[in-house]
Amino acid sequence: MPFYFKKGCSFIALSMLLIGSVSIAVKAKTLTIVDQHGRPVELAVIELLQPVKNDKPLQVAVMDQVNKQFEPKLLTIVKGQQVAFPNSDDIRHHVYSFSPIKPFELKLYAGTPKAPLTFEQSGVVVLGCNIHDSMVGYIYVAQSEAHFLTDVQGKVVLPDNTSSYLLWHPEQDKELGERSEHIWPQDNSHSKVEIELVTPAPRNTFGEMFKDSHGN
């Protein structure tokens, strides 16, 4: 009987431990981003203002070209990180950035890879393709690993110690690289923030120019 009792005790102790760890995981803050019509905003970048020390070596991130689109459309990296630009299409691309933190151009012919580029400064880089103007991509270069993306429901779970953060979205009605600063409302585990989005300007493509003849 003492044996069973002991076993029962350790079982309870283990359960308590598990509950404890679960409650730590649950103890976080949820942020929801909506647009001016109340619709959830996916792919908003949230960057915490408390810096996080990073000991891990930085992997080479990838911005691929697939079916005449950037893949992913938005890549988030940490400053100092490298980005490779493969070309999974059979045709050539000519990728460029005019963004002040990293202006560059890369002629990507099928089957001839270029060396990865290093992004030393934090901020926003907008990517285009000289040949295919329908291609638009973004690289968000964060100060540290403490950055997050909203999901399709416009939600993102943030660490419990979040006190202030930067918010950015590619289609925000602001200067493209501008990030708005927000303070987390005290004693709240949820917060909802509305941002104004604009429809992106039409692209300089045959598809756009002759859409009346072909539809979309």
Query: Which residue ranges make up the site for another protein (CB under 8 A)?
Result: 68, 89-92, 107, 109-110, 129-135, 203-207, 209-210, 213-214
Task: In whole angstroms, give the CA distance from residue 119 to residue 77.
Answer: 9
In the complex with another protein, the residue whose CB is nearer, 131 or 193, is 131
In the complex with another protein, the residue whose CB is nearer, 20 or 215, is 215
CB of 189 to another protein, least distance (A): 45
In the complex with another protein, the residue whose CB is nearer, 133 or 151, is 133
CA angle 92–140–44, rounded 5-degree value: 110
CB of 93 to another protein, least distance (A): 10
In the complex with another protein, the residue whose CB is nearer, 23 or 213, is 213
Q: Tokens at residue 56, please?
A: 């891990």
Q: Are 147 and 76 in contact (CB under 8 A)?
A: yes
Strand partners, 24: none
CB of 110 to another protein, least distance (A): 5
CB of 101 to another protein, least distance (A): 24
CB of 109 to another protein, least distance (A): 6
Residue 54 sits at φ, ψ, to 5 deg, of: -115, 120
Task: In whole angstroms, give the CA distance from residue 82 to residue 54.
Answer: 15
In the complex with another protein, the residue whose CB is nearer, 104 or 184, is 104
Task: In whole angstroms, give the CA distance from residue 65 to residue 89.
Answer: 6
